[in-house]
């Protein structure tokens, strides 16, 4: 059977490549342009040795996602874990949470909640995102430490450069009937040489959402987001940018959690300086036509990101027996220095250093009610748990042959982890000597891109990624796991070894005038994979918990593939689709890894009418049954399903766009395999039912 998931996608990709070649009568280069703030990156057809995707601003604005995690589900190989209407936590190729390196504008971001009600992807409003960069696998040394399963970089909208004074604005409003949700945003941007700015504010107010069967209780929320950015070019080739942003959430309910978020406040700040050196003609004394202009650039940045999160069960029936409240805080300080040198068109070298210091703290109060008696218990799930990481890296690219490019990357991280003692009980269980840990972690990658023809690239990459254990895994004190929905308390293990992934990727990318196809096959062997193991000698402290698990290291493996393609049938009609599959194995217990999504696919057809900028898109999502599960982590089999959506857009006049649509047209009742269990029913949390939505945008 394991040969099946290897053979089928290879055969399909070969057939699609042949079909794409037939469809692309004119062999022209496919050009991809991703505009990131004041920068514009224009590349000939993607030529990376690993699997990489870009979600553009246009794709985001012509969708209706709840947050960035919801938007990422549109990419092959990425699913999301739902515990409420928002805060969807992405899962990539079976890797999740801190196994993914999630960044906002290149800065490290963590939520404050030990239960990940506030994953990093929820720390910035989707209206503020200009592009999302995704790198699958441990193939980037430049994006910071901890890249085990991949990189997700949310690039926010930046100020634009203006030669003379200009001021512009953008206003948008939307409505989702599935939760009587109202949302709106306003931004003001402009500038005058040499400075520019961007200001924005947004807000949402949603009631409990409707599934196809019923209204899901405890799923409403309110939030407000804001950002302020200012940039200046004090001299030629110099640039200075300051950005601050934040999100304030109130009464955010999570039907798949025991508690809700009374309030959530986050604040992100980033100061960045960049310099682009003057180009100078390279040495061409030996008549080497490959020698071009030398290029040198330098960037330096400092950032501070913080989140505060208060959760309780005040709105739950369980409060009649026990009141629970936890106050959490997460603070991240970091910085980066990087220079990039391109001596000629054949070579480039990027090198730099970076660091981050993460400090997390939490206070938990539980009041047991027994008639008129009240017993108060206080403890700390985390107690000033800190992780400090200094990193140095280099990435070298060289054209070995006109058709063959080599990419080499290496990274060294020095890690220190420590925590104040939560209490004597924790100290007795783990040992005082184990609280403070130090690691020296080496990671790197090598990749090749071979231009088989002008339109087809073959790729191969091998990468080693290392991730240090997080605060939950090291220092949690009888707290439910955010990874699993298994009704166990978890005890941290400060002496955990870091996870180490050795991954192999091979792929093919083809781009023609009217068609494109991409295929990637991967195998990842993970040494010291972190999971939970029952300790029958420990007694749980959470009411209703089945027992206690300790975090431990095991050996694991993940494997799978992604296949995607697009076809422009006519100038107005286009098709796109993808397939993805991942399978995970705990090699120590010879069981499946839990929380791995099943085989799934997406397909869409879009028609552009050519008048008033109008278009229609119909899409479908197809997910198979998941029976590769581990019941020891609260998993049960989930049935397959298919859903269909429709969207229509129009530009009735300049700078004004209108969009309407319906998600889950046939009001299908279904649950994603990764969803948490609805506390009120004990069953998998149902996805939203049929949702009619509308969105209007006006720029001036």
pLDDT (tens digit, 9 = 90+) per residue, 293-351? 688 999 999 999 999 999 999 999 888 888 999 999 999 999 999 999 999 889 999 99
pLDDT (tens digit, 9 = 90+) per residue, 645-671? 999 999 998 899 999 999 999 999 999
4-699 fold? Maltoporin; Chain A (2.40.170)
Q: How far apart are CA 74 and CA 580, in angstroms?
A: 11
Min mean pLDDT across 151-165, 364-378, 494-508, 595-609 is at: 364-378
Q: How far apart are CA 152 and CA 47, in angstroms?
A: 19
Read off the pTM: 0.90
Which has more confidence, 363 or 34?
Answer: 363
- Averaged pLDDT for residues 444-454: 96
Lookup: tokens for 690: 């049929």
Residue 80, judged by CB atoms within 10 A of its CB (0-12, 13-18, 19+), counts as buried
Comparing CA positions, the residue from 379, 515, 538 lying closest to residue 456 is 515
Confidence at 622, pLDDT banded by 50, 70, 90 = very high
Q: How far apart are CA 79 and CA 626, in angstroms?
A: 14
Lookup: tokens for 212: 């196809």
Pairing of strands 150-156, 100-104: parallel
Nearby residues of 465 by Cβ (< 8 Å), 6 or more positions away: 137, 138, 146, 147, 148, 149, 443, 500, 501, 503
- Averaged pLDDT for residues 54-60: 93
Q: In Å, how far from its chain's centre is CA 603?
A: 22
pLDDT of residue 16: 39
Confidence at 291, pLDDT banded by 50, 70, 90 = very low
3-class SS of residue 555? strand
pLDDT (tens digit, 9 = 90+) per residue, 512-570? 999 999 999 999 999 999 999 999 999 998 878 899 999 999 999 999 999 999 999 99
Host H or E run for residue 169: strand 166-176
The count of other CB atoms within 10 Å of the CB of residue 36 is 18
Note whether 267 and 227 are within 8 A (CB): no
- Averaged pLDDT for residues 231-238: 92
The dihedral through the CA atoms of 129, 133, 137, 142 has a sign that is negative
Note whether 547 and 534 are within 8 A (CB): yes
Confidence at 32, pLDDT banded by 50, 70, 90 = very low
Sheet order of strands, 107-108 included: 52-55, 129-136, 150-156, 100-104, 107-108
pLDDT of residue 433: 72
């Amino acid at each position: 059977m394991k040969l099946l998931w290897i053979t089928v996608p290879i055969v399909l990709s070969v057939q699609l490549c042949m079909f794409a070649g037939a469809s692309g009568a004119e062999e022209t280069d496919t050009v991809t342009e991703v505009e990131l703030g004041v920068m514009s990156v224009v590349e000939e057809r993607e030529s990376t040795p690993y699997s990489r995707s870009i979600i553009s601003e246009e794709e985001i604005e012509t969708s209706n996602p709840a947050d960035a995690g919801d938007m990422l589900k549109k990419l092959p190989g990425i699913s999301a874990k739902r515990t409420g209407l928002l805060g969807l936590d992405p899962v990539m190729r079976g890797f999740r949470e801190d196994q993914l390196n999630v960044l906002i504008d290149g800065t490290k971001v963590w939520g404050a909640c030990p239960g990940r009600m506030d994953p990093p992807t929820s720390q910035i409003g989707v209206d503020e995102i200009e592009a999302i960069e995704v790198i699958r696998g441990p193939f980037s040394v430049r994006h910071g430490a901890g890249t085990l399963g991949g990189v997700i970089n949310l690039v926010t909208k930046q100020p634009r450069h203006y030669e003379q004074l200009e001021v512009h604005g953008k206003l948008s409003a939307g409505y989702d009937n599935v939760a009587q949700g109202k949302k709106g945003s306003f931004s003001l941007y402009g500038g005058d040489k040499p400075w520019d700015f961007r200001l924005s504010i947004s807000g949402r107010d949603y009631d409990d959402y409707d599934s196809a069967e019923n209204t899901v209780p405890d799923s409403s929320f309110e939030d407000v987001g804001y950002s302020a950015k200012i940039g200046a070019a004090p001299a030629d080739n110099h640039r200075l940018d300051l950005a601050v942003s934040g999100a304030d959430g109130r009464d955010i309910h999570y039907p798949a959690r025991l508690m809700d978020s009374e309030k959530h406040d986050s604040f992100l700040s980033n100061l960045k300086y960049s310099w682009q050196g003057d180009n100078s003609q390279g040495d061409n004394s030996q008549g080497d036509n490959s020698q071009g202009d030398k290029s040198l650039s330098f960037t330096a940045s400092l950032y501070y990101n913080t989140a505060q999160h208060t959760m309780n069960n005040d709105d739950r029936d369980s409060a009649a027996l026990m009141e629970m409240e936890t106050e959490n805080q997460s603070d991240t300080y970091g910085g980066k220095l990087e220079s990039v040198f391109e001596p000629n068109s054949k070579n480039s070298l990027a090198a730099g250093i970076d660091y981050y210091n993460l400090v997390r703290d939490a206070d938990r109060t539980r009041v047991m009610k027994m008639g008129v008696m009240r017993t108060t218990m206080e403890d700390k799930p985390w107690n000033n748990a800190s992780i400090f990481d200094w990193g140095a890296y280099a990435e070298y690219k060289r054209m070995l042959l006109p058709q063959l490019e080599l990419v080499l990357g290496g990274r060294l991280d020095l890690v220190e982890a420590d925590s104040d003692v939560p209490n004597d009980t924790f100290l007795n269980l783990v040992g005082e000597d184990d609280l403070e840990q130090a690691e020296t972690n080496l990671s790197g990658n090598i990749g090749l891109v071979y231009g088989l023809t002008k339109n087809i690239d073959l790729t191969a990459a091998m990468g080693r990624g290392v991730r240090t254990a997080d605060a939950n895994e090291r220092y949690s004190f009888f707290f439910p796991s955010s990874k699993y929905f298994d009704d166990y308390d978890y005890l941290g293990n400060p002496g955990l070894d870091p996870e180490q992934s050795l991954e192999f990727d091979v792929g093919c990318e083809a781009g023609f005038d009217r068609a494109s196809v991409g295929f990637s096959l991967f195998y990842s062997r993970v040494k010291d994979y972190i999971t939970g193991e029952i300790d029958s000698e420990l007694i749980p402290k959470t009411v209703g918990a089945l027992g206690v698990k300790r975090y431990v290291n095991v050996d694991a493996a993940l494997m799978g593939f992604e296949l995607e393609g697009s076809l422009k049938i006519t100038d107005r009609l286009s098709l796109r689709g993808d397939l993805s599959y991942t399978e995970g194995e705990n090699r120590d217990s010879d069981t499946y890894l839990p929380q791995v999504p099943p085989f799934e696919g997406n397909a869409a057809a879009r028609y552009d009418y050519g008048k008033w900028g109008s278009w229609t898109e119909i899409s479908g999502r197809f997910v198979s049954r998941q029976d590769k599960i581990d019941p020891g982590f609260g998993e049960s089999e989930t049935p397959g399903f298919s859903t269909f959506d429709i969207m229509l857009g129009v530009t009735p006049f300049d700078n004004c766009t209108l969009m309407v649509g319906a998600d889950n047209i046939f009001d299908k009742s279904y649950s994603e395999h990764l969803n948490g269990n609805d506390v009120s029913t004990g069953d998998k949390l149902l996805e939203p039912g049929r949702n009619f939505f509308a969105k209007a945008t006006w720029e001036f």
